[in-house]
Amino acid sequence: MSSSLEEVVDPDETIALMVHRHPLSLVFPLFSALLVGMVGIFIFYVLGRFPEQLEKIGPLSMVALAGAAVIVLALILIVANLRIYARNGLVLTDKTLYLIGQTSLINRDSSQFALNKLEDVKAIQSGLLGTVFNYGEVVAKTAGAEDNMVFKWAPRPQSLAEAILDANEKVK
């Protein structure tokens, strides 16, 4: 299988739709990682600009090592956030709706609803950014005692909700 989202799908099901979170959900995590990287670059800048003053603090090699460690940490954060993004999403098959939530590199959450038990699907777009960039939440409800399935940062939430409802109608 080519995508980590496909891992949760039963082999006898056909994937109708596979959606990742909106790319805007990456802005804050990647910005944070870039800030960390800028600290490492700043350490090297200060190292080159004021070596005599830094000699008083400690060996320059230790300062350079600290700068390199901070830059490596920033790169690890970027890769980790991209991996987490790639492993979050919603998969709609001919029988089931799956929600996969990767909250960290080692914590993964997976929910599923049988389409024939689906009662309602609602798309929610709120705020200026959600409207301008066309993202929001898709909330799926069942008649049973199960919790609602909420897909945050859903791209094109209206059309996604419509696609889920259309698949639900085909099952019934």
When pLDDT is cut at 50, 70 and 90, the band that residue 1 belongs to is very low
The class (CATH top level) of 4-21+89-171 is mainly beta
When pLDDT is cut at 50, 70 and 90, the band that residue 131 belongs to is very high
Range scoring the smallest mean pLDDT among 2-16, 65-79, 83-97, 146-160? 2-16
Nearest by Cα to 27 from 135, 138, 142: 135
pLDDT in tens, 36-72: 999 999 999 999 898 888 888 778 888 899 999 999 9
Average pLDDT over residues 131-140: 97
pLDDT on residue 94: 95
Per-residue HEC secondary structure of the chain comes to: CCCHHHHHCCCCCCEEEEEECCHHHHHHHHHHHHHHHHHHHHHHHHHHHCHHHHHHHCCHHHHHHHHHHHHHHHHHHHHHHHHHHHCCEEEEECCEEEEEEECCCCCEEEEEEEHHHEEEEEEECCHHHHHHCCEEEEEEEECCCCCCEEEEEEECHHHHHHHHHHHHHHHC
pLDDT on residue 142: 85
pTM for the structure as a whole = 0.85
Mean pLDDT of all residues in the chain? Answer: 92
Half-sphere exposure of 79 (CA within 13 A, CB side): 6
- In percent, the amount of the chain with pLDDT more than 70 equals 98
pLDDT on residue 154: 97
pLDDT on residue 99: 95
pLDDT in tens, 85-122: 999 999 999 999 999 999 898 998 999 999 998 999 99
pLDDT on residue 3: 63
